[in-house]
Structure 1
Amino acid sequence: MTSDDIRLGDIIVEGDSGSIVLVGFPYDEGVRRNNGRVGAKHGPDSFRQLLKRTGTVVNAEYDDLDLRKYLTISDGGNINADLTLEEAHQQLESRIRQLISNGKIPFVVGGGNDQSYPNASALLNHTTKSIYVINIDAHLDVRPLKENNKSHSGSPFRLLLEDQKFHQNPSNRFIEFASQGSQCSIEHVNYLRSKSPLTQIFWYQSIRDNPLAPFRTILKSAEEQQSDIFVSFDIDSIISSSCPGVSAPATVGLTAQQACDIAFYAGESLQVKLMDLSEYNPLIEDYRTGKLVTLIFYHFVLGRAKAIRDLMQ
């Protein structure tokens, strides 16, 4: 660190003391079960290495926004990497629920997208409010379980929609965002349709020219209901020319700038209590994809700092 160029990594401390707490989920067994390319278990540690030099702490583009004045960031480490996937899911849910209960904003870096059900379940079992779960993903991830009723990277939101607690509040919502029809079985689409009005799909073709407007509309709707929000971001929704290091790359998809803007608006919404990133696979490609993933996190932090600054002014 030099005094004239302080970066995000320079202000992150270890432990759970931050207002935003990073948690790593170093597992890709769920990807293997879903016949994807393994390697995402290395995502959290690769993310940390690249995070060290990501982003300026004082951002002149946002009216000299100084992150240190409005929030703190800590690294809460990884979920134990030596567990079975089922045990890891249990540990993750307990960990995230504890952080939320202590007023922290967990930001979880995977790992496979199977992490998203334990994360959603942690919020669902903590809050007394309604919740919005927003899945930014080329895929719907509502596949049935496999291998003797085991979860996998394609099943997290099937598990959420089969969770009776999710149905107890009629104001709960599950939103599929940037889904690609070429990647989504009609059976899975019809499954989601059968769960209406709890569910809604924003197809990529309908939002590709301006995904930010509908994303902000979703956030506003949740805010008006005072719902708690979980944003789950599977980075295979980003076009592979910008984000090749994923388990299932997308030939078409969100741009890198759109992904960062979405993360900024997620951070800016104080109703967002939790965010995760899934499917970063550094064994396929580490640097370009990894820098984008850390920039997505940086924009989430920027959005949250700006929201707090606006409240204080």
Structure 2
Amino acid sequence: MNAGVGGWSGRVDLPEGPATRRWHQWVREPVAGAAPGVAVLGFASDEGVRRNGGRVGAAEGPAALRRMLSNLPLLDDTPLYDAGDVDAADGDLEGAQLRYAGKLAALLDTGHFPVGLGGGHEIAFATYQGLALHLGERRPRVAIVNFDAHFDLRRQDRASSGTPFLQAIEHAAAHGLPLDYCVFGISTSANTRVLFDTADELGVHYVRDDELGLLDLPARIAQLQARLADVDAVYLTFCLDALPHAMAPGVSAPSARGIPMEVVEPLLDAIAATGKVKVMDVAELSPPFDRDHVTARVAARLIHRVTHAAARAART
């Protein structure tokens, strides 16, 4: 075993070299002038989940994700960085989101591919704000592609894990940023009629979980590719409650159905292959409810797959 930067540790295979490296052996702290690479940034918050009436525990998500990422094999020589955590331990969610956004924007400004480690899905408004800061006065068309059982379009007095995409849509409209919101995995048993009405009013493109079987996959991939053809930048966000409960028990709100991995992974591959993904995050990992670290392992696999696919797309 080897102890690395920021608590990263894991197995060391011999002979040590590029073909035997794992993430914990490659990850470094980002410094000025470092070559662009993948940079993980944790959002250790479950304040939004608490405000939304969910079961808390997601604040422990970033640490659990690092443990599961540590032993994954390095598939290429893309630099890996750990930019640390932002927390909302004082209950100031809005302040934490702004701090996270500033850190994420700085990573984007220096050419890195940020990967957010949640934390509740309140990470999404923080990530969106960071992307908007990075874009500045530029007005490219941005698509948020969300895998989620929930719309997260609630109208509430205070921000929560149920409000981030409505906040993003309203912010984009106020600042003249063209924004499309697409969500895959919506559960009819987990969203009220007002949320469906809100999605329809806002022009949200959504696909229900019961419309995402293996036989539907070719058509869904084609539709997704057509939607992303006209956008300039993609923010990919994955709420782990989009997965079946057996694969993701450790979440704030377990799914009654979910999207099978056999469908999720080809969709993620198609998104990454566009070469337009600028930032991604994974949300709602709640380690206190994660038996045998099942959910954290699945989340790490998804991050591993997307970052490698995005790096490959950037080279072509």
TM-score (norm 2): 0.85
5+ residue gaps, structure 1:
59-66
5+ residue gaps, structure 2:
1-11
Change (3 A) 1:142 1:215: farther
The residue that corresponds to 1:193 in the other structure is: 200
Question: Could you say what secondary structure the match of 1:79 adopts?
Answer: strand
1:23–1:107 CA contact under 8 A, matched in 2: yes
What is the deviation of 1:254? 1.4
1:265–1:303 CA contact under 8 A, matched in 2: no
The within-5 A match list for 1:87-166 is: 87-127=95-135, 128=138, 129-145=140-156, 149-165=157-173
Per mean C-alpha deviation after superposition, the further-off stretch among 159-168 and 88-97 is 159-168
Question: Could you say what secondary structure the match of 1:276 adopts?
Answer: strand
1:204 aligns with 2:209: yes
The within-5 A match list for 1:277-296 is: 277-285=282-290, 287-296=293-302
Distance 1:179 1:234 in 2: 11
Question: Could you say what secondary structure the match of 1:192 adopts?
Answer: helix
What is the deviation of 1:22? 0.3
RMSD in angstroms over aligned alpha carbons? 2.1
Distance 1:272 1:228 in 2: 6
Distance 2:297 2:97 in 1: 27
1:116–1:156 CA contact under 8 A, matched in 2: yes
Choose which of 255, 271, 277 in structure 1 pairs with 2:276: 271
Supply the AA of the counterpart residue of 2:122: D
The residue that corresponds to 1:39 in the other structure is: 57
1:227 aligns with 2:232: yes
Aligned length: 292
Supply the AA of the counterpart residue of 1:157: F
Change (3 A) 1:280 1:166: farther
Question: Could you say what secondary structure the match of 2:288 adopts?
Answer: coil
Distance 1:268 1:9 in 2: 26
1:77 aligns with 2:92: no
1:3 aligns with 2:3: no
2:98–2:129 CA contact under 8 A, matched in 1: no
2:240–2:285 CA contact under 8 A, matched in 1: yes
What is the deviation of 1:98? 1.7
Question: Could you say what secondary structure the match of 2:278 adopts?
Answer: strand
What is the deviation of 1:11? 1.6
Distance 1:212 1:301 in 2: 23
Distance 2:126 2:162 in 1: 14
Per mean C-alpha deviation after superposition, the further-off stretch among 283-292 and 236-245 is 283-292
1:184 aligns with 2:191: yes
Distance 1:90 1:221 in 2: 30
